[in-house]
Each structure stands twice: as C-alpha cells, then as structure tokens.
Amino acid sequence: MSKLKELKDDPKYIINFVEILSTFDPSKTGKYVPYMLKLIEAYIADVKQDYLTTTFNDVKELIQDFHDLAERNQIENKDIYSYESFEQLETIVKEGKSKITESQIKERETKILHEDDNYIVIRPLSIRSSRLYGSTTKWCTASDRDDYAQHFRNYAGNGILVYFINKKENPKENLHAKLAFHNETNFKDSHNISIWDVEDKKLDSGAVFGLAGKIIPMNIYEIILKELNEGKKVNVEK
C-alpha cells in the first residue's frame, strides 16, 4: 500500500460528517442523519472549496515555493520532512528566494522585448520579475505583499502583461516613467488592452493616444502592441 493511500485512509485526516451528525441525532436509529446531511449539503461543498482556495492557501503557496526553489537548486537541504514546522520551512524558503540575483531573474524569469540605454520593455514571467521591474509603483501585480501574488498570476497567466520602463525618469516624479500594459482576453482578442501608470491609475483612451511618439518612442510602442496583440501564452512561475 502506498504512503499516500495510507494517509487517505487514516481516520485522523478524514472529516466524517455522517459520524459528526450522528452525535446530534436524538433518535436511536440515526433516522435523522440523512435529512441533516441534505440540509448541510451545500455547506459541505462550501467547506471543501474554502479549504482549496483559502484555508490552506498559505500551505499551498509555501510548498509550491519550496518545490520551485528545490528544482532550481536554490535550497541545499531538499528533504522537506527534515523541517519540523511551518515557520522552519518558511525561513528556508525566504533564504532560498534571497539567493536569486537580479541577473538570474532577468535571464530566467523575464522576457525582454526591447532594451536600450533609455528604455526597457519586458514581460514578467514570475512574481519576482514583476516585483523587480515594478518596484516603486503601486501595481497590485508587483506588490511585495504575499497575499497579492495571486493578482500577478491572474494577469500574467490569463493574459499578456507588459511593463514599459523609462530608465532616465524617476517614477516618484513622473507617473509615466513606468507603465503596465495588459491584454485580458486570454490570447483570443486584441481589443481589450488596459494601461496603468505608476500610481496604478488606469489611463483613459485620450491619455493612451497621447503616449505614442511622446512618452513612448513609436518603434517601442509598436513592439509593445505587437506583443499584446500577437504574443503567445507563456508559463508563469508560481
């Protein structure tokens, strides 16, 4: 019998609603249990969904990060069972992440669409890349908050996310020093592009029209639009 099969059959890890509701049944035959199950059927489904998306989300994210770092040899001790607590594993994962240099992020986790002395246009392929190039902005896709990482995955995994950066301008002084472009149409349409400035303010159509040839050189603007319109779906690192 496999270890996973043993765990699935271990009563310590099984929530048995029939057994729980039996303790509430005032009859001696358990005749009310089926009806009680019917009453809470929707609740049981909600509980399962909550476990998948919220309750255990921290554990899911931590294990995914550990796996990714171990695969890239950023963690020396890959025996996860040697870590006795959530806190220990979290510390190791944070240390592993800190070993990834900016050059490694640029090389492995970023698609460089254009770069010269003045400008760089990139497509972030990981939350680390998004945070690196989106620093000093208020973009939710580049936030350092762990609970915001899902925003990046939603935008980059279900659409095309592109960052324009003016190397010569200070984002604290120029709202257009960094711009985030997104096509949210799951790679099927090119008519739903959105743009945000440094403050995460969505630009209106008039402001967008004024970017080309002024804030963004025309040749670079065309590169951005080409990626947004024709770019292929990419694997986004967890």
Average pLDDT of the segment spanning 79-89: 92
* C-alpha to C-alpha distance for 167 and 133, rounded to whole angstroms: 11
Q: For residue 34, give Cα distances in angstroms to 11, 37, 46.
A: 21, 5, 19
Reported as a single tens digit per residue, the pLDDT across 123-143 is 999 999 999 999 999 999 999
Q: What is the pLDDT of residue 1?
A: 45
* C-alpha to C-alpha distance for 152 and 236, rounded to whole angstroms: 9
What would the DSSP string read from start to end of 129-156?
HHHHHTTTS--GGG-S-GGGHHHHHHHH
Report the 10 Å Cβ neighbour count for 176: 19
Phi and psi for 229 in degrees, rounded to 5? -90, -30
Domain limits, the chain: 3-98, 102-230
Phi and psi for 118 in degrees, rounded to 5? -110, -30
pLDDT averaged over every residue in the chain: 88
Q: How confident is the model at residue 236 (pLDDT cuts 50, 70, 90)?
A: confident
Q: For residue 170, give Cα distances in angstroms to 123, 167, 222, 224.
A: 21, 8, 24, 21
Reported as a single tens digit per residue, the pLDDT across 133-189 is 999 999 999 998 878 888 999 899 889 999 999 999 999 999 999 999 999 765 555
- In percent, the amount of the chain with pLDDT more than 90 equals 50
* Reported pTM: 0.62
